Amino acid sequence: QVKFVESGGGSVQPRGSLRLSCTTSETTYGKYTMGWFREVPRKGREGVAAIDDDGNTAYADSVKGRFAIVKDNVENTLLLEMNDLKPEDSAGYYCTAVQARTWRTASHALGALGRFGYWGGGRKVTVSS
């Protein structure tokens, strides 16, 4: 089972930027489609961004144009660059992996994030003035 070491996040004012980083215990290429989901207590989970082995990406409508997901297959790392942050982006963010044989494309995997697969312990992001 793949394991995750996450870092980054924290507190920022509206319109600020933050970065989340995730390193996996094994290579994910050919095995998992990677992504991030976020969770807000009493509001549930939302797939935020996904990236597949072809480098294709998919984003939730709420973050399009503001967030960017990047994967490094050599270093086994996954990044989430978050710009122009809004208070409604405040949440726990989780690095996650879903089986590539079931969810091979980023667009297909986005809806599975937070519902299936594996994820790390999460990082808190707070956007407040």
Per-residue pLDDT of 39-61, as tens digits, reads 998 899 999 999 999 999 999 99
pLDDT at 101 over 90: yes
Instruction: Quote the mean pLDDT of the chain.
Output: 96
Residue 73 has pLDDT above 90, yes or no: no
16-26 mean pLDDT: 97
In order of 40, 49, 74, the CA distances from 46 in angstroms are 9, 9, 28
Q: What is the mean pLDDT of residues 5-32?
A: 96
Q: How far apart are CA 51 and CA 67, in angstroms?
A: 12
The gap from C-alpha 81 to its chain's centroid, in whole angstroms, comes to 10
The answer to whether residue 119 scores a pLDDT higher than 90 is yes
- The C-alpha angle 55, 102, 121, rounded to 5 degrees, equals 75
- Per-residue pLDDT tens digits for 103-115: 999 999 999 999 9
